[in-house]
Structure 1
């Protein structure tokens, strides 16, 4: 009889322990709970689709767990005690991890915003507001250069400047402190015709090209009353040799600021 009582008591205790846990991680219900939320705003310009996971569980939107172009969704979850949540962004085909984030109760509501394509990753896009135009009829620019030195192998790792000129050679102004992971200063100027601007990239504070022995420049089309966030890209020819720089990606086309 004593053994039967002991068995019943042991079973009861075990049942209580199991009942005190919830979800797949067996999280104790008596731990402090705090609501968490991650706002995801991203744009994928790569040929491979991206996947977003929270603690290993893929984000599914409209029955899809892989995304091309725009990705917008909110992750809502619960923190138990001092637990953390990990968001991983990866490529579907290659499984390459592009970026990962860890969130805790110290900041339970947070935002992840990014732009990605082959050889380009721009972090915290929404934190980089376009410059404010001071007058109607103006145009303005900020630059960022994630792929600098990818093909040029220039050996120069400092910041860059961009000298902007009209088609007649008249200098418009200078955009300074262009970096790999941070936007430059803002340059604003009146729109004019023809709407073409020549952009020359030089070492900061100089007129010297960042690629030894080679002038690096490209053309941009101005738009009246537009403030742009331009992504510069190094390009290569069919043999993989550096062929120049383009500035055709404008992040304000893909994100609402």
Structure 2
């Protein structure tokens, strides 16, 4: 009988305490927080010799539903859903899996719940600005277009020239098709468009802006290119070195327009 009275007493105390609380006080803190859904559409291309990994606030992003598959290679198209609580910030980090080198870091908040992320990763090259990746828009049919970006400018050539470059584009017979201006390592060049014709092989001479003088003293720099009918290209120019580490020329092989659809 005594135990029953004791239990009844403690029960009445507990009920009295909870009865004095408001509904807000009874609601768990977790549920009080403002909850919003967000999404980032990730579009990338991994041309590294190894895979890349992506984390959000330290948690690995998985490929599909396989928790053990977190290594992304080649073309990457992934939609990732966020759950924002209050003004929480989500930090997305892209790394080289082999070296753990951080390639890019991005912050997302509920101020922009739906976002898109584009990037291209290659050895010693990481580009993640849409304006850097997107090719120019052709204005008419029967033409070919080009924009250029030169991230490795002066890397191997050792040129002291720090200005922008122009590219004088000619056909194999010497006919000048046009001059593209403001080629640099920091921003896409101006867009150039000209009529397509065969043969499709063309070449571009790199010169100091506003001149016909090579950006490397005493050495003409020619880049081999190919034009494609009704196609605009965003070409990455790369300084190359030979087996002895000496500058060997400039290549324009990578066309970013091959990897992305905007």
Q: What interval of TM-score do these two structures reach, taking the shorter chain for normalisation?
A: 0.7 to 0.9
Tell me what 2:95 maps to: 90
In the alignment, which of 214, 224, 239 is matched to residue 219 of structure 1?
Answer: 224
Tell me what 2:159 maps to: 154
In the alignment, which of 29, 33, 47 is matched to residue 35 of structure 2?
Answer: 33
Question: What's the TM-score once normalised by structure 2's chain length?
Answer: 0.85
Q: How does 1:171-190 map to 2 (within 5 A)?
A: 171-190=176-195
Q: How does 1:1-257 map to 2 (within 5 A)?
A: 20=28, 28-62=30-64, 63=66, 64-125=69-130, 128-257=133-262
* Structure 1: tracts of 5 or more residues without a match: 22-27
CA RMSD in angstroms, aligned pairs only: 2.5
Relative to 1, partners in 2 of residues 1:96 and 1:242: Cα closer, same or farther, differing over 3 Å? Answer: same
Q: Deviations over 1:71-118 (max 9, x none)?
A: 111111111111100010100010000110111222222111011101
The list of structure 1 runs, each at least 4 consecutive aligned residues, that deviate by more than 3 angstroms after superposition, is 125-129
SS at 2:257 equivalent: helix
Aligned partners of 1:116 and 1:177: how far apart in 2? 24
Aligned partners of 1:161 and 1:178: how far apart in 2? 6
Q: Deviations over 1:40-99 (max 9, x none)?
A: 100011102111111111111133211111111111111111110001010001000011
Say how many residue pairs are matched: 245
SS at 1:29 equivalent: helix
Which range moves more in the overlay, 64-73 or 84-93? 64-73
Relative to 1, partners in 2 of residues 1:218 and 1:126: Cα closer, same or farther, differing over 3 Å? Answer: closer
SS at 1:252 equivalent: helix
Question: What's the TM-score once normalised by structure 1's chain length?
Answer: 0.87
